[in-house]
A and B are shown apart, each in its own frame.
Chain A
Amino acid sequence: MEHVGVFLCSGCGIGDALDLEAVASAAEDSGGALCHTHPCLCAEEGIALVRESLSSGEADGLVIAACSQRVKCKAFSFDSATPVQRVGLREQVTWSHPPNDEDTQMLAEDLVRMGVARVLKSKPPVRQEEEIADTVLVVGGGLTGLEAAAAAAGLGKPVVLLEKEAELGGHLAGIGELAPAGPPYDQLHENPVSNLIEQVRSNSRIRVLTSAVLRGISGQPGQFKVEVAAGGGDETFMAGAIVQATGARPYDAHRLAHLGYGEQADVITSAELDAMLEAGSLTRPSNGETPQRVAFVQCAGSRDAEHLLYCSGECCATTLRQAARLRRDYPDVEPCVVYRDIRMPGQQERFYLAVQEEGGTLLMRGEVDGVGGNGNGRLAVHLRESLLGDDARLEADLVVLAVGMVPNSADGEAIRALHDAQQRVEHGESETQREEARKVAERLAAHEGTEILHLGYRQGPDLPVLQYGFPDSHYICFPYETRRTGIYSAGALRAPMDPAQAVEDAWGAALKAVQCIEAARRGEAVHPRSGDLGAPDFFLQRCTQCKRCTEECPFGTLNEDEKGTPQLNVLRCRRCGICMGACPERIISFPDYSVDAVASMIKAIEVPEEEDEKPRIVALMCENDALPALDAAARLGRTWSPWIRIVPVRCLGSVNIVWIADSLSRGVDGVILVGCKYGDDAQCHYIRGSELASKRLENVQETLDRLALEPERIKLVELAHNEFDRVPTILDEFAAEIEEMDPNPYKGF
């Protein structure tokens, strides 16, 4: 931008602690076109002042030097074409540093200069009109899919519902009654699925395609091209967003031979008992007699190192509803539940109590070691260390294994790795490479042909999965969102859950899908930078086809052409800037966030001469976690070293190594990067930004060697959003370490 309007706020004590006139002249000297100071910038009058400068054409970019960018967001958002840089004078300067102090003043002036430098290098976003499809594609016609279809249709969107089977309803179809889903949560209630099927079938907005085969999905949110074979013919249509609700299947009980499945005729699964109950014939498969005691074995193959490690959270409710049903329909049958813990989420606890109170169902805590014959025609359930202290055995006529659920997912990344390996086996450059590839292909062989969505994405044909194969979102705060923008996972596919939770999930995912379509229509990022119009720009003439951007984008935004040149699918982009950080050629920029813009900020820092003994440190801080933590520390009156100049970054993954080289060659004494935790409890909004940054830092070593500088001048710290208490200490300790060292010899060059 050419005309940067700088607005200083003197409210909240800023004016008392700083010489704002000096700050204003620093702003003007550094290229600000105009500079106003207002005692309460966020009030109507202050905002009017800013608006006036924009409408009169005096300013086309803004620096708001007031409070942190994390507060007053609404007040300081103007039109989408105007780049705005917030400078947190209040949190980063006056609340956290001594008032009317030389160093505090220098800090404030530097920060404003940096703001001006960045806006000078910013451009208004370019909005491209795109044709956006309104249709929501729902994959899977079980409870979740049906509910999601009904929800999206209810929100006014056309829906296509795909089901690979001939009938809708999934696993719950045909079951008469379910565990309670509403108050008073103490009795069985009618399975909603059959009504839901009718509702969906009769909804004019919903097209149901059964016996459907998904052939492929390409494109991006708002423009997914879906190819389907159904009803004897192929068809292609456009969809705006996708809800994957392919559900889960019961764990294969044949693997549970120790529990008698497949060996004892009278050992069945919950699903098989449901079938018996619905058919009205509760019999022992071995002899056709009505069983006297039906023993339910909970956690059959769940929470078990050799089978499923997790709790499916639903089998207890299934067992208790079956026990309640047995008690009602077969009063002479004695249901007996052997459990490790009864886990009834939420209000389901009341149903558990109701079953207990009815009194006819025996609930027995114990570890089941095995199920075998008892020699008298009955079965024996062997309990290890029963609650009464000893091994014991329980006789039963029918044993029902409450098996957990396994998601009907496909591991997109594994499939891709398999296909890549297969390619290398064929076309590998050396025998070693081909041999390596063969091993990988062998290890991943089980993923062959498991595709569900058939996505035309470089990073794989299906959603990436998390633990245990569930394509869940990475963080509790963003349920349903997957690493593929515009594709939302819901129901038992996303995480093990019961029908009531699946219904809630369906709604959540449907709402997300609708939101995504609307955001795509406006050309905005969906999440987490909702509303961001600034699409990345690739200066492809200089691309060397190194593929780092296509590989490192956490969201599979980029495809590749045959030569390996990235192909942008802008509506998949979440604007994190990880590609920008990855690019060694520095050809990727966002209108208001670019390698050049941040480098200019760093260059705007006035580095004092060596003899002034005022070191300078650049802190590249993640604006999602580290920055709010810093704001919180300031709010609590914590202070930190005045040598530090904070550069907020979208993600540590967006940090281009050149910024570090720039800092050091400018005479900055140290650079600290503060970002999210990574590893198992990753908190990064962009999956693994700080992890990528830490890997890239390894390459900085070269730069340091070249400049003959100590490696300790660069540091990366992981910080959680809530660790506000640690931030000042981290900064102060780093400042102390830098002070220990000799000043950067490049000062003054």
Chain B
Amino acid sequence: MATVPLIAPSEDFRRELRRRGGERASRCYQCATCSAVCELAPEGRPFPRRQVLLAQWGQGDQLATDPAVWLCHQCNDCTVRCPRDVRPGDLMQVVRAMVIERLAAPAFLGRLVANVRSTWPVVLGAPLLLWVLLLGLTGHLGVPPGFHAYDQLVPHWLIYSVFFPVAAFVLWAAWVSGRRFWTLLGSVGPPRKGSFLASLVPVFGEISTHGRFSNCEAGRPRRWGHLALLWGFVGAAVTSGLLVVALYGFGAQLPLPLDHPFKILGNISAVLLVVGGVILLINRLGDPQKTGASTAFDRFFLTVVLLVIATGVLAEVGRFFFPAAVACSIYIVHLSVVLTLFVTFPYSKFAHMLYRTLAMVHERMTG
């Protein structure tokens, strides 16, 4: 008797699910229309019916080990067709947020971001306060005389001394969470075959084109916004890396002239980010059936991304056209939202980058 598994419906999980916008799970009557219409579900391992069921029965442990939670791209083809209006697409989104919190290291940061509906002033305000304090303490708070470049306002060493440790912390946190997730994925289902890297490469290929999004119907417009944003961020990251090389390897002078290749790359990235951000924003404002309902958790991530893009572009433009005080303020805000984006990476919706990639690799290795 002891070998028969006990179904322990966790009332806590169900309460948490309801609180975070997953209350519609209880409406499900298991018709499996959602799984039948999902174009992303792999052969023989359909989703999201099973995941809706797990959520309904309060099986949080099983959801945390389930790659399907992450293979879902929230196209909402299921939501559009669900006869009971369970909105499985939205539910999967809520479940992902709950898994992110569950795997977060350290846990209190996960909790902080998970409850961003009430904690957003801290999450957004603390980095700003930090920058203001740092600048004040180092005597840089104020418009630099003869202002023409932002390194006059914030010296590079100050930037490095903030972002390098933060990056290291984030990498550690992502590593810990990623490992936990990878172990959980491997704890159930068929054993993995082949090497991680050999599967990672094709997964990167797939991510680079967002091929899976093309199977979606209801959520198809999101593909292009999401793709532009992805490449915009990649471009911005590459530009930053190249810039460090140019500064210290080749003694480049800031600000770079507008026709400098790095500058051009950076600006192309900025355009991609603006275009992607605008598409996603417009999409969010559309039919919630197709685009998915926005929880505070979703809105927070999109807001931070849009703030990063907006302050970045405005800071660049403002240097030429705005009064120096305004431009400098925008730059400080920019630095602080970028810091928020960085620090919250393992805890916000941003973490889907980590988990979905791992899930896709796992899928390949077990497929």
Contact = CB atoms under 8 A, between A and B. Distances in A.
A666 to B, nearest CB: 64
Contacts of B6: 392-395
Contacts of A390: 5
B4 A391 contact: yes
Contacts of B111: none
B137 interface: no
Contacts of B102: none
A357 interface: yes
Nearest to B6: A393
Interface in A718-748: none
Interface in A355-378: 356-359, 362-365, 375
Nearest to A381: B7
A693 interface: no
Contacts of B56: 362-363
B365 interface: no
A299 to B, nearest CB: 16
B11 A387 contact: no
A394 B4 CA distance: 10
A317 to B, nearest CB: 15
A359 B21 CA distance: 13
A388 B5 CA distance: 11
Contacts of A365: 30
A373 to B, nearest CB: 10
Interface residues of A, number: 26
Contact of A359 (B7, B14, B29, B50): B14
Contacts of A387: 30, 50, 53
A540 interface: no
Nearest to A338: B7
A357 B26 contact: yes
A336 interface: yes
Contacts of B57: 362, 364, 388
A353 interface: yes
Given A334-B11, A342-B29, A387-B30, A359 B18 contact: yes
B148 interface: no
B18 A388 contact: no
A342 B31 CA distance: 12
A386 interface: yes
B15 to A, nearest CB: 9
A518 B277 CA distance: 79
B54 interface: yes
A587 B117 CA distance: 92
Contacts of B8: 395
Contact of A362 (B9, B27, B62): B9
A362 B62 CA distance: 17
Interface string B320-342: 00000000000000000000000
The number of chain B residues touching the other chain, given as a range, is 20 to 34
B316 interface: no
A158 B56 CA distance: 55
A168 interface: no
Contact of A388 (B1, B4, B26, B50): B50
Given A357-B27, A362-B9, A393 B53 contact: no
Given A356-B26, A356-B27, A362-B9, A382 B4 contact: yes
A383 interface: yes
A292 to B, nearest CB: 10
B29 to A, nearest CB: 7
A363 B58 CA distance: 11
Contacts of A353: 27, 84
B363 interface: no
Nearest to B5: A392
B30 A359 contact: no
A394 B7 contact: yes
A149 B208 CA distance: 76
Given A364-B57, A365-B30, A359 B4 contact: no
Contacts of A391: 4-5
Interface in B1-37: 1, 4-9, 11, 14, 18, 23, 26-30
Nearest to B59: A388
A377 to B, nearest CB: 15
A353 B7 CA distance: 23
Nearest to B29: A342
A361 B54 CA distance: 15
Contacts of B30: 365, 387
A334 B26 CA distance: 14
A336 B53 contact: no
Nearest to B11: A334
Contacts of B14: 359
Interface in A326-363: 334, 336, 342, 352-353, 356-359, 362-363
Interface in B253-280: none
B23 to A, nearest CB: 6
Given A342-B29, A357-B23, A391-B4, 12 more contacts: A334-B11, A352-B29, A357-B26, A358-B26, A363-B56, A382-B4, A383-B7, A387-B50, A388-B53, A392-B7, A393-B4, A394-B7
Interface of B: 1, 4-9, 11, 14, 18, 23, 26-30, 50, 53-54, 56-59, 62, 84
Interface of A: 334, 336, 342, 352-353, 356-359, 362-365, 375, 380, 382-383, 386-388, 390-395
Ordered nearest first, which 9 A-B pairs have the shortest CB separation?
Answer: A359-B26, A393-B4, A392-B7, A356-B26, A356-B27, A394-B7, A392-B5, A393-B6, A391-B4
28 contacts: A352-B29, A353-B27, A356-B26, A356-B27, A356-B28, A357-B27, A362-B9, A362-B56, A363-B26, A363-B29, A363-B56, A364-B7, A364-B57, A380-B1, A382-B4, A386-B7, A387-B50, A387-B53, A388-B7, A388-B62, A391-B4, A391-B5, A392-B5, A393-B1, A393-B4, A393-B7, A394-B7, A395-B6
